[in-house]
Structure 1
Amino acid sequence: MKKEGLLRQGNKSALMAAIVNAVISVIKGTAYIFTGNVAMFAETMHSLGDSANQFFVFIGSALSKKRPTDRYPNGFGRVVNLVLLFAVIIVGIMSYETIKEGIHHIIHPSESTGLWINISVLSAAILLEGYVMYKAMKEVIRETNSQAKGIAIIPKSFANLSKAKPATKLVFMEDLVATSGGLIAIIGILLSYYAGLHAAEGIASIIIGAMMFYVVGRVFLDNAKGVLGEADDELEAAIAAYIFTNKEIKDIKALYAMKEGEDYHIEMKLEIEPDISVGQAIEIKERIENYIQAMPAVTDVIIEFEEDDHVPTWNKGNPNPVP
Structure 2
Amino acid sequence: MTELFKLLKDGNKPSLLAAGVNTFLGIIKGIAFFFTGNVAMFAEMMHSLGDAANQLFVYIGSALSKKPPTKQFPSGFGRIVNLVCLFAVIIVAILSYETIKEGWHHFIHPSGESSGILIALGVLLIGIVLEGAVLAKAAVEVLHEAGQEKAGLTAIPKAFPYLNRAKPATKLVFMEDLVATSGNILAFAAIVIAYFTGWGRIEGLVSMIIGAMMFYVVGKVFLDNARGVIGETDEEMLNHIAYLVMDDPNIKDIVRLEVIKEGEFLHVELVAEADPQLSLAFLDDVRDHLTEIILSQKGVAKVAILFDEDDGKTSWVHAGN
**TM-score, structure 1 length as denominator?**
0.96
1:166 maps to a residue whose letter is P
CA–CA distance in structure 1, aligned partners of residues 228 and 320 of structure 2: 21
Aligned twin of 2:58: 57
Is 1:179–2:181 an aligned residue pair?
Answer: yes
2:131 counterpart residue number: 129
1:206 match: 208
Q: How do 1:108-147 residues align onto structure 2 when only pairs under 5 Å count?
A: 108-110=109-111, 111-147=113-149
Q: Is the 8 A contact 2:253 2:316 kept in 1?
A: yes
Is 1:257–1:266's contact at 8 Å kept on the other side of the alignment? yes
| Structure 2 partner of 1:43 | 44
Q: Return 188-197 or 14-23, whichever deviates more.
A: 188-197
Q: 1:275 aligns to what SS in structure 2?
A: coil
CA offset at residue 151 of structure 1?
A: 3.3
Deviations 1:177-221 (A, max 9, x none): 000011111111112111111000000000000000000000100
In the TM superposition, residue 152 of structure 1 has moved relative to its aligned partner by 4.0
Q: Following TM superposition, by how much is the alpha carbon of 1:91 offset from its aligned partner in structure 2, in angstroms?
A: 0.2
Q: Using the alignment, how far apart are the partners of 1:63 and 1:36 within structure 2?
A: 40
Equivalent-residue separation in structure 2 for 1:145 and 1:282 (angstroms): 31
Paired residue for 1:26? 27
**Partner of 1:21: helix, strand, or coil?**
helix
Give the whole-Å Cα distance in 1 for the aligned partners of 2:268 and 2:178: 33
1:218-297 matches, cutoff 5 A? 218-297=220-299
Q: Which moved more, 1:42-51 or 1:236-245?
A: 236-245
| Aligned counterparts, 1:146-165, within 5 A | 146-165=148-167
Q: Which deviates further from its counterpart, 309-318 or 214-223? A: 309-318
- The whole-number CA distance in structure 2 between the counterparts of 1:152 and 1:250 is 45
Q: What secondary structure is seen at the aligned counterpart in 2 of 1:270? A: strand
Q: 1:31–1:118: 8 Å Cα contact kept in structure 2?
A: yes
> Shift of residue 273 of structure 1?
0.9
Within a 5 Å distance, the mapping from 1:182-193 to structure 2 comes to 182-193=184-195
Aligned partners of 2:248 and 2:150: how far apart in 1? 32
Residue of structure 1 in register with 2:101 after alignment: 100
- Tell me the equivalent position of 1:196: 198
Take 2:236 and 2:5, find their aligned partners in 1: how far apart are those partners?
35
The residue identity in structure 1 corresponding to 2:256 is A
Letter paired with 2:274: I
Separation (CA, whole Å) in 2 of partners of 1:304 and 1:232: 20
Cα separation, 1, equivalents of 2:73 and 2:270: 22
CA drift of 1:274 comes to 1.1
**Contact between 2:92 and 2:218, CA under 8 Å: does it hold in 1?**
yes
- The answer for unaligned runs of 5 or more in structure 1 is none
| CA RMSD across the alignment | 1.3
Give the C-alpha shift of residue 147 in structure 1: 2.5
| Distance (Å, rounded) in 2 between the aligned partners of 1:304 and 1:70 | 21
C-alpha contact 2:239 2:320 (8 A) present in aligned 1: no
Q: Which amino acid aligns with 2:127?
A: A
Amino acid at match of 2:300: V
Which whole-Å deviations, capped at 9, do the CAs of 1:147-166 have from their partners, x for residues lacking one? 34323423331110111010
Q: Secondary structure at the match of 1:66?
A: coil
One-letter amino acid of the structure 2 residue matched with residue 39 of structure 1: A
What SS does the corresponding residue of 2:153 show, helix, strand or coil? Answer: helix
Instruction: State the partner residue of 2:15.
Output: 14
Q: Which amino acid aligns with 1:202?
A: G
Deviations 1:76-118 (A, max 9, x none): 1111111111111100010000000000001111211111111
- Amino acid of the structure 1 residue aligned with 2:51: D
**C-alpha separation in 1, matches of 2:155 and 2:172:** 18
Deviates more, 1:99-108 or 1:276-285: 276-285
Partner Cα separation in structure 1 for residue 270 and residue 158 of structure 2: 32
Shift of 1:318: 9.1
Amino acid at match of 1:49: G
Separation in 2 of the partners of 1:153 and 1:189?
30
